[in-house]
């Protein structure tokens, strides 16, 4: 056991990449990992049945790898590694996805920002190297991970290096990937009000800039708009439920309208309104039967901010409607009040956290912004048959019993 722990620690010291080890019974040891729980156990289960070594790309674009020691049948899980810089916004998204309390922001930020950046190829090479040290077998990353050489890398690399130098010299950085993905997410879910707020808040940020797409400012703005409207339509509106033919017709209409404009300012105004229009159309297709757009938008707002101390007043303010109007709508359509619905959503989220994570009751209570653990227990029992403590014990017993029989197969 000591030797295995030392091996993990030496690997982490050499590469600064978190590593965890498992056997057929589950977790053994780790180095550089904040916890032995998800996503490491989850990644191990996802990759255990795949070819060895294997790479898993998570929904937040993190790389995880699994390498098997054939002699001992232990599994090494590496990661996460990221190919782009970790921003504050990304850290908060990571914390929300993994149900980490906002109180642990500094700890989580330190963990993520200390991980070196790895390209996909670099990460694949590291897995092949680890496989060689464990099993004495030399593998090719091109055949192992199905990578191909297109013959263009050298020319593209030279052009990229020159362009990157100009970008840094002129401070003309591209818009962040995180910003674009968040915008697509809001459109895909038809979150109109959240999208409006997001676009307004990001409009003046110095980091939201475009690369060089043309020689004149007007042509630059038009080219950027054409690329954006195409992405919004194909990768946000259609996945959000908008009709394919309608989406393509809308893309064509927007491009034609853009080409008619004679000023950069006019194009930018169109660029602001276009995503909102798509989000509205998606929302109209997504609103469940029996719900008004106003109530459905509030439900989305509550779900998005469920780990924040939102109040009835916050929901009313978001809706832009009067308090009396919104109360009446919630009563007619959901047969409950706004405050009760907020608590219902928190308890629903608590149930998921109890079942799918190893978070304690105090951690869940704090994460979901209950005033105290006793208040959390009281509200939980009103919505569930058992108290949170009883449910927590039942689930914990089930997990222990399940892990005793857990095995990984090649």
Sheet with 63-69, strands from edge to edge, namely 26-31, 19-23, 74-81, 63-69, 54-57
| Average confidence (pLDDT) over 179-203 | 84
Looking at the fold, whether 137 and 6 belong to one and the same domain comes out as yes
**DSSP output for 184-220:** HHHHHTT-HHHHHHHHHHHTT-TT-------SSHHHH
pLDDT at site 315: 93
With a cut of 70, say whether residue 346 has pLDDT above it.
yes
pLDDT at site 200: 78
Looking at the fold, whether 77 and 199 belong to one and the same domain comes out as no
pLDDT at site 211: 61
| Average confidence (pLDDT) over 189-209 | 71
Task: Decide: helix, strand or coil at residue 117.
Answer: strand
Looking at the fold, whether 363 and 264 belong to one and the same domain comes out as no
With a cut of 70, say whether residue 354 has pLDDT above it.
yes
Lowest mean pLDDT among 68-77, 313-322, 323-332, 336-345: 68-77
Q: Give the CATH number for residue 26.
A: 3.30.450
Distances 123 to 162, 182, 289 between C-alpha atoms, Å: 25, 26, 47
Give residue-wise pLDDT tens across range 39-74.
Answer: 566 666 666 666 678 887 766 667 888 888 888 878
171, part of any domain: no
pLDDT at site 165: 46
Exposure of 149 by Cβ count < 10 A (0-12 exposed, 13-18 middle, 19+ buried)?
exposed
Under 8 Å between Cβ of 55 and 124: yes
Number of domains in the chain: 3
pLDDT at site 219: 86
Lowest mean pLDDT among 97-101, 119-123, 203-207, 345-349: 203-207
> Beta partners for 54?
66
Q: Where among 127, 144, 161 does a domain terminate?
A: 144
Two tokens at 71?
A: 């002699």
Q: Show the domain range for 215.
A: 177-286
Looking at the fold, whether 66 and 192 belong to one and the same domain comes out as no
User: CA-to-CA distance for 158 and 192, rounded, in angstroms?
Assistant: 42
Place of tokens 């509200």: 379
Which residues lie closer than 8 Å to 207 by C-beta, 6 or more apart?
Answer: 173, 175, 176, 179
Two tokens at 139?
A: 């593998």
Percent of the chain clearing pLDDT 70 (strictly above): 75
Q: Where among 100, 127, 144 does a domain terminate?
A: 144
Lowest mean pLDDT among 289-293, 308-312, 342-346, 394-398: 394-398
| Average confidence (pLDDT) over 363-378 | 83
Looking at the fold, whether 41 and 57 belong to one and the same domain comes out as yes
Range among 2-11, 13-22, 320-329 with highest mean pLDDT value: 320-329
Q: What is the mean pLDDT of the chain?
A: 76
Looking at the fold, whether 227 and 125 belong to one and the same domain comes out as no
| Average confidence (pLDDT) over 95-112 | 80
With a cut of 60, say whether residue 77 has pLDDT above it.
yes
Nearest CA among 330, 362, 332 for reference residue 103? 362
Give residue-wise pLDDT tens across range 214-256.
Answer: 678 888 888 888 888 988 998 899 888 787 777 888 888 888 8
Nearest CA among 258, 245, 272, 164 for reference residue 211? 164
Looking at the fold, whether 97 and 47 belong to one and the same domain comes out as yes
Lowest mean pLDDT among 325-329, 331-335, 341-345, 371-375: 371-375
Looking at the fold, whether 278 and 308 belong to one and the same domain comes out as no
With a cut of 60, say whether residue 278 has pLDDT above it.
yes
Of 375 and 159, the structure prediction assigns the larger pLDDT to 375
**DSSP output for 346-393:** HHHHHHHHHHHS---HHHHHHHTT-S-HHHHHHHHHHHSSS-HHHHHH
pLDDT confidence of 398, banded at 50, 70, 90?
Answer: very low
């Amino acid at each position: 056991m000591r030797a295995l722990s030392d091996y993990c620690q030496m690997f982490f010291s050499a590469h600064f990449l978190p590593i965890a080890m498992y056997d057929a019974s589950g977790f053994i040891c780790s180095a550089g990992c904040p916890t032995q729980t998800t996503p490491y156990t989850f990644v191990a289960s996802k990759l255990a049945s795949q070819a060895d070594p294997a790479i898993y790309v998570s929904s937040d674009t993190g790389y995880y790898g699994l390498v098997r020691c054939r002699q001992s049948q232990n599994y090494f899980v590496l990661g996460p590694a990221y190919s782009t810089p970790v921003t504050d916004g990304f850290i908060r998204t990571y914390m929300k996805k993994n149900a980490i309390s906002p109180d642990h922001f500094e700890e989580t930020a330190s963990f993520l920002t200390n991980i070196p950046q790895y390209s996909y190829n670099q990460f694949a090479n590291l897995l092949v190297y680890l496989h060689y040290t464990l099993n004495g077998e030399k593998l090719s990353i091109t055949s192992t991970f199905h990578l191909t050489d297109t013959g263009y890398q050298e020319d593209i690399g030279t052009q990229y290096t020159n362009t990157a130098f100009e970008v840094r010299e002129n401070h003309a950085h591209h818009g962040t990937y995180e910003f674009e993905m968040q915008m697509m997410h809001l459109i895909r879910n038809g979150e109109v009000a959240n999208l409006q707020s997001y676009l307004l808040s990001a409009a003046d940020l110095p980091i939201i800039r475009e690369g060089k797409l043309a020689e004149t400012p007007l042509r630059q703005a038009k080219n950027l708009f054409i690329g954006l409207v195409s992405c919004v339509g194909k990768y946000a509106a259609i996945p959000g439920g908008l009709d394919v033919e309608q989406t393509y017709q809308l893309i064509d209409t927007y491009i034609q309208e853009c080409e008619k404009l004679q000023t950069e300012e006019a194009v930018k105004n169109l660029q602001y309104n276009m995503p909102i229009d798509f989000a509205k159309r998606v929302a109209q297709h997504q609103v469940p039967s029996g719900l008004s757009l106003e109530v459905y938008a509030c439900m989305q707002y509550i779900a998005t901010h469920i780990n924040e101390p939102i109040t009835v007043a916050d929901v009313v303010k978001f809706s832009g409607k009067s308090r009396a109007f919104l109360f009446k709508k919630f009563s007619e359509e959901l047969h409950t009040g706004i405050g009760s619905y907020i608590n219902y959503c928190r308890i629903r989220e608590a149930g998921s956290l109890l079942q799918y994570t190893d978070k304690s009751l105090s951690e869940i209570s704090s994460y979901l912004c209950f005033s105290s653990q006793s208040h959390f227990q009281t509200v939980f029992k009103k919505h569930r048959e058992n108290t949170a403590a009883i449910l927590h014990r039942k689930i914990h017993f089930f997990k222990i019993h399940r892990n005793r029989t857990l095995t990984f197969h090649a």
